[in-house]
Structure 1
Amino acid sequence: MSVYDQKPDRFLAKLQVSLGEGTEAYCAGFEMNEWRCSPFAFHLAEWLPEYALPEEELRIHHENLLMKLHQAAIRVYTSEKYKNRGEAGEIALHAICRDYFGTIPLSPRVFYKSSSNDVVKAFDMVHVRLIDNQKPEIWLGESKLYETASKAVSDAIASVSQHLDAGFLTNQKVLLGPQIPKSTPRYEEIVALFNKNSSLDELIGNAVFVIGISCDSLAALEAQTTDNAYLQKIRSELEYLWSRINNSGLNQRVRIRLIYTPLANKNSLVEAFDRRLKGLQ
């Protein structure tokens, strides 16, 4: 049995607001007429080991559970300047892809940091999605955790556009290829896409560029429950994000999947997550 066969229980709910293939929204929901900030932060902490530790370190048992959580929390970051950090958004994107799409991590992003406070110029997520009778899909994620939707989507478009640079992708192939665990299902097919002698066209042709936007949402701030009025407002917010991506032409160059997580208050979530993280360090 793979270490990735077991996952935390589902927390984020998929909202019925999709604009079609490749656009989704997921919400933490509401409790006692308030957006579930603290429970969301707790759920993110549940995913810490898988987000921060490579596969060989994920053999978790009763006697080493707390130590694994401690190791993962240290690797995420130890900075007191947490307000501008985006790890909570990255973990949310990781959790959604794992939970709803059954992706498998190929390498944890934080594994490439030279220290736990480094900012990594790389994809925020590198997963694979295996579908019967189809080639493996390499899911390359870019996460933005901002207060405003306009800033989040602008920076996401810019980041993915920069990542499509041939030199960057070539370096990523060299970096990521050797890190793919040999125990990964269909390993030979996957690692062939990262071979230095293979064309970048092969990797891009089998890639899905996942844009995760987590930002303040007026709909989430004003709502008290997931009712039709809330869903209609979230759909409008999702339409805005997708229109920005569509107008950029990015989705004409590569396969894009937009995953939107509306937040009632981004800063409150970051603070709640930081408290959880510090408590495990």
Structure 2
Amino acid sequence: MSDKIWKFDILIDDSFVNFNPNSVEITPDTNDFLISLINGFEEGHWMKKNFQNFIYNNIAETALKAEERMKIVDDSYSCLVESAKHLRLIDRDGVDEEVKKRDKGRGSEIAEIVLYGIMKHHFNAIPAIPKIYYKQNDNMNAFGDDSVHIVLTKDSDFQIWLGEAKFYNDLEDKRFNEPLSSIAQMLNSAIIRKELGILTGLNELDVVLRDIPEMLKKVKNILKNFTSIDEIKKRLHVPILLLHECEITNGATTLNKEYKDKIVTYHYDRATSYFKKQIIKFKGYVDYDKINFHLILFPVPNKSEIVEWFISRAKTLREDAQ
């Protein structure tokens, strides 16, 4: 497997079973995985343009329906303009600073876009529901997952990936409560059935799998309501992206060994804490060990600067659409 995702370096690609300090009590741990991902530096500065381009290149994956993406696939600017029409973050921008501080979702769309990009470039995933587009519908926004993908396997089968994406000011233990609560909701059997029912009811799969008709038929047959939820869980993967502000990254000026070692140590520590909490929270959950969880940690130097850039750029694109 590549040591990069797009132009980002992979520092860690590991299983919790290899770094769990207490595998006797904190178990099962063979179904938990960690990816640590970092952006580069240039002339003493974090490469924000690199990060911004990743947003530009992948926003359509989650903000546009498959048919729309197909129609303007060769027109990157139109992709950006059309995608900007569906962003929720812009609509919340008019509130005062105190409300912004309390707004837990501030920046979440950025994390969702990054997750869709990672799914595309690292896991060769096919976007099954463009969540930003469909979250305009309040009924869709009620479900716990931030991304829905299908991954085709070498044995002519498929996996279901239901993801969670957050953008935080730090990675303190308290931050883990929110994604864990969302995942608990997402893994409720009734919610899984509703999500998969929506998936089979939309036209998305027909478009993205139109060149593989046998696989399309197989996916739809298995995802229908009569399939046992036990069979679904065997195919289920949960990627959890925690995009986070990081003092180590903010204080760095170059992609040297010292910086990488600090991030590796920090991310192993944070992942250990996260997986402990997750395993405890899901104790007693039927077939927990059948579901694979992929924690993805991505540090940035300053969250607010990224959010303000995103809002400003998206506003400009919306104006261009008028």
Q: Is this a same-fold pair by TM over 0.5?
A: yes
| 1:71-86 equivalences in 2 (<5 Å) | 71-77=82-88, 78-81=90-93, 84-86=106-108
Secondary structure of the residue that 1:25 maps to in structure 2?
A: strand
For residues 198 and 205 of structure 1, what CA distance do their matches in structure 2 show?
Answer: 12
| Counterpart pick for 2:68 among 32, 57, 62 | 57
| 1:34-113 equivalences in 2 (<5 Å) | 34-61=45-72, 65-77=76-88, 78-81=90-93, 84-113=106-135
CA 1:120–1:234 in structure 2 vs 1: closer, same or farther (change >3 Å)? farther
Contiguous gaps of at least 5 residues in structure 1: 1-9
Which residue of 2 is the match for residue 122 of structure 1? 144
How far is 1:19 from its partner?
A: 3.1
Check the 8 A contact 1:152/1:215 in 2, yes or no. no
How far is 1:108 from its partner?
A: 0.3
How far is 1:253 from its partner?
A: 6.3
Give, as a single letter, the amino acid of the residue that structure 1 aligns with 2:183.
V
CA 1:33–1:140 in structure 2 vs 1: closer, same or farther (change >3 Å)? same
| 1:225-264 equivalences in 2 (<5 Å) | 225-248=254-277, 249=279, 250=282, 252=289, 254-264=291-301
How far is 1:142 from its partner?
A: 0.2
Which residue of 2 is the match for residue 3 of structure 1? none
CA 1:31–1:60 in structure 2 vs 1: closer, same or farther (change >3 Å)? farther
Structure exhibiting the larger radius of gyration computed from Cα positions: 2
Per-residue CA distance 1:49-82 (angstroms, 9 max, x = gap): 2221111111245886544322211112331428
Length-normalised TM-score, structure 2: 0.76
How far is 1:192 from its partner?
A: 2.6
Which residue of 2 is the match for residue 213 of structure 1? 242
Give, as a single letter, the amino acid of the residue that structure 1 aligns with 2:70.
R
| Counterpart pick for 1:273 among 298, 310, 318 | 310
CA 1:66–1:227 in structure 2 vs 1: closer, same or farther (change >3 Å)? closer
For residues 94 and 14 of structure 1, what CA distance do their matches in structure 2 show?
Answer: 17
Secondary structure of the residue that 2:70 maps to in structure 1?
A: coil
Per-residue CA distance 1:192-240 (angstroms, 9 max, x = gap): 3320111111211101111001011122112112211111111122212
Check the 8 A contact 2:93/2:311 in 1, yes or no. no
Check the 8 A contact 1:37/1:268 in 2, yes or no. no
For residues 141 and 196 of structure 2, what CA distance do their matches in structure 1 show?
Answer: 19
How far is 1:95 from its partner?
A: 0.6
Secondary structure of the residue that 2:9 maps to in structure 1?
A: strand
For residues 154 and 242 of structure 1, what CA distance do their matches in structure 2 show?
Answer: 13
1:182 aligns to 2:206 (yes or no): yes
Which residue of 1 is the match for residue 12 of structure 2? 17
Check the 8 A contact 2:166/2:179 in 1, yes or no. yes
For residues 129 and 111 of structure 1, what CA distance do their matches in structure 2 show?
Answer: 21
Contiguous gaps of at least 5 residues in structure 2: 16-31, 95-99, 101-105, 283-287
CA 1:132–1:216 in structure 2 vs 1: closer, same or farther (change >3 Å)? same
Check the 8 A contact 2:87/2:109 in 1, yes or no. yes
CA 1:146–1:235 in structure 2 vs 1: closer, same or farther (change >3 Å)? same
Check the 8 A contact 1:17/1:232 in 2, yes or no. no
Give me the CA root mean square deviation: 2.5
Give, as a single letter, the amino acid of the residue that structure 2 aligns with 1:166.
S
Length-normalised TM-score, structure 1: 0.86
CA 1:171–1:40 in structure 2 vs 1: closer, same or farther (change >3 Å)? same
For residues 16 and 192 of structure 1, what CA distance do their matches in structure 2 show?
Answer: 39
Check the 8 A contact 2:9/2:39 in 1, yes or no. no
Check the 8 A contact 2:143/2:195 in 1, yes or no. no
Query: Identity of paired residues, percent?
Result: 22
Secondary structure of the residue that 1:49 maps to in structure 2?
A: helix
Which residue of 1 is the match for residue 21 of structure 2? none
